[in-house]
Amino acid sequence: MWRALIILLFASPVMAESVIATRTIRAQTVIGPDDLTLVNAGLPGALSDTAAAIGLEARVAIYAGRPVRLADLGPPTLVQRNQVVALVYLAGGLAISTEGRALARGSEGEVIRVINLASRTTVSGRIGPNGAVFVGWEE
């Protein structure tokens, strides 16, 4: 009796849900709820929850009907290339702020190069949560 019950439990197929794109999502597009759907299939590498992808940015093109993988997504871009940004130098209790032009695009926490518009000096800094670039600041 127990053997038959165990065989029945293990013989039934286990279906997993996977997230797929409902439309073609271009790279650098922020994912919204209408861009994704769940299907009853265990697709390798696919996310299993749509909430995990909403609000993230597609790093590559994701085609309609294809699985959405975490490796294809990243945090949304806060700074675009050539954008004028606040450039902030922090050291101890000192804070100096000026304007700079971003030489790359990036998300919060990423290090990018910025040219100081006043001195024409190129510096590297970390993008803050408000889009400002912080130089000389270590967490």
* pLDDT of amino acid 38: 87
* pLDDT of amino acid 8: 45
- Output DSSP code: residue 109: T
- Output DSSP code: residue 30: B
* pLDDT of amino acid 40: 87
* pLDDT of amino acid 5: 42
Return the domain boundaries, the chain.
2-74, 77-135
Low-confidence ranges of the chain (pLDDT < 70): 1-15, 137-139
Q: What is the pLDDT of residues 60-92, one digit of tens each?
A: 999 998 999 999 999 999 999 999 999 999 888
* pLDDT of amino acid 127: 95
With CA atoms as reference, report the closest residue to 115 among 96, 101, 97, 99: 101
Per the document, the length of the chain is 139
Cα 28–Cα 30–Cα 32 angle in degrees, nearest 5: 150
Residue type, 91: A
Regarding pTM above 0.75, the answer is no
Q: Which CATH number fits domain 2-74: 3.90.1210.10, 1.10.540.10, 3.30.390.30, 3.30.1330.30?
A: 3.90.1210.10
* pLDDT of amino acid 10: 53
**Domain 77-135, CATH class in plain words:** mainly beta
Q: Do domains 2-74 and 77-135 have the same CATH topology?
A: no
